[in-house]
Amino acid sequence: MVVSISERAISSALTKEKLADLYRVMVRIRAFEERVAKEFNRGKIPCHAHLYIGQEAIATGACASLRPDDYIISNHRGHGHLIAKGGRTDLMMAELFGKRTGYCKGKGGSMHCADFDLGILGANGIVGAGITIAGGAALTAKLKKTGQVCVCFFGDGASNTSRFHEGINFASILKLPVVYIAENNQYAISVPFNYASNVARIADRACAYGIPGKTIDGNDVLTVYDTVREAVERARHGEGPSLIECQTFRWAGHYTSDPQSYVSKEVIDEWKKNDPIPRFRKYLVERGFLTAEEVERIHQEISDEIETAVKFADESPYPAPEETLEDVYA
């Protein structure tokens, strides 16, 4: 079932430039998240955030298979999804700092960033809530015949909420263009998935809705890309939703202050050996898609970008207190 990068040929749809882009996006997500942890510990970010470290290959591979006007719906662990769909790190960082220049003018924070111009229909602080909302975005695409697809990201915890059933059932009977991506990072806060579910694989539940379900290696960006691309094309051609379960692990715990005391060190170490970024880098360099110098340059560019984003966030003004009263009604 799980095919490693080294065992299979590169997808023909991926040019050298696109492969470099995938790598750049993964590095951007990692650098952003590491900096968020740092700025939270420095007291610059007022609320803890749910970091995407370790899961970068999923958002990156999935969003690379989308058109610019396709939709994504994210969850509480959303920074990676937003960056992968083209979200700006400076506007995100400013939002996390609670500044007026942020994506939501300081009204949303980490769990509510959105950029509708990029098809990013928002992160969401309620586990599973995006699953039903995704069906609505797909309904718009279907009725307006735009050919757009909605990718809905959620975690293993969300797969045990009622929305998982109600949302996927709804989309499946109407053959809506949605691709459900279950990121199984093994834990819902401290509760292991193998305790919280009586079936081993989330994707096995797809049969309940008569839709395709696949479990894949979520730490292999190319496997994610290929699998999601197939499901996206299926959705775009009116054949309905798919469910893709990506096996992965969150390195930094549920949120920035979680020491993950409930996970053994061996398990964490084992997953860290399966880090999606060096894995992909090794592949790209060995196959000659990137030189060591190009890799170095990408890391430097991203490092500079995140530095600029933090500077922007830090120097931006806070909203005026009275702005609290704005934006309730249109």
Partner 1 sequence: MPELNFIQAINQAIDEEMRRDPSIVVLGEDVRALGAPLGEFKGLFEKYGAERVIDTPISETAILGAAIGAAATGLRPIANIMYANFLGVCGDELINQLTNMRYMFGGKIKVPVTIMSYTGAGTRHAAQHSRNLYGWLMNVTGLKISVPSTPYDAKGLLKSALRENNPTIFLYHATLVKRGIKSNVPAEEYTIPLGKADIKREGKDVTVVAMGLMVHEALEAAAMLEKKDISIEVIDPRTLVPLDKETIISSIKKTGRLIIMDEEPKTGSAAGEIAAIIADEAFDYMDAPIKRVCAPDTPVPYSPVLEDFWIPDENALVKAVSEVV
Q: Does 170 bind partner 1 (CB under 8 A)?
A: yes
Nearer to partner 1, 102 or 213 (CB): 102
Q: Is 103 a catalytic residue?
A: no
Contact 121, 60 (CB under 8 A): no
Tell me which of 103, 193, 255, 289 binds partner 1, using CB under 8 A. Answer: 103
Interaction mask 14-53, partner 1, x per CB under 8 A:
----------------------------------------
Tell me which of 105, 175, 201, 299 binds partner 1, using CB under 8 A. Answer: 105
Give 173: exposed, middle or buried? Use CB within 10 Å, 0-12, 13-18, 19+: exposed
Q: Does 71 bind partner 1 (CB under 8 A)?
A: yes
Counting every residue, how long is the chain?
Answer: 330
Helix boundaries (H) for 65-188: 79-84, 89-97, 129-143, 162-173
Strand partners, 247: 184, 217
Q: Does 321 bind partner 1 (CB under 8 A)?
A: no
Distance of CA 79 to the CA centre of its chain: 7
Q: Is 255 a catalytic residue?
A: no
Tell me the one-letter amino acid at 232: V
Distance of alpha carbon 64 from alpha carbon 19, whole angstroms:
10
| HEC readout, 204-217 | HHHHHHCCCEEEEE
Nearer to partner 1, 103 or 249 (CB): 103
Contact 211, 241 (CB under 8 A): yes
Distance of CA 245 to the CA centre of its chain: 13
Q: Is 250 a catalytic residue?
A: yes
Count of positions on this chain that bind partner 1 (CB under 8 A): 46
| Per annotation, catalytic residue among 35, 77, 250, 279 | 250
Sign of CA pseudo-dihedral 170, 180, 188, 194: positive
Q: How far is the CB of 222 from partner 1 (least distance, A)?
A: 30
| Per annotation, catalytic residue among 76, 81, 229, 254 | 254
Distance of alpha carbon 204 from alpha carbon 213, whole angstroms:
6
Q: Does 102 bind partner 1 (CB under 8 A)?
A: yes
- Binders of partner 1 among residues 110 to 149 (CB under 8 A) are 112, 114, 116, 121-122, 124-126, 129, 131-144
Residues near partner 1, by CB under 8 A: 71, 73, 102-108, 112, 114, 116, 121-122, 124-126, 129, 131-144, 150, 162-163, 166-167, 169-170, 173-174, 326-330
Give the residue numbers marked as catalytic: 250, 254, 262
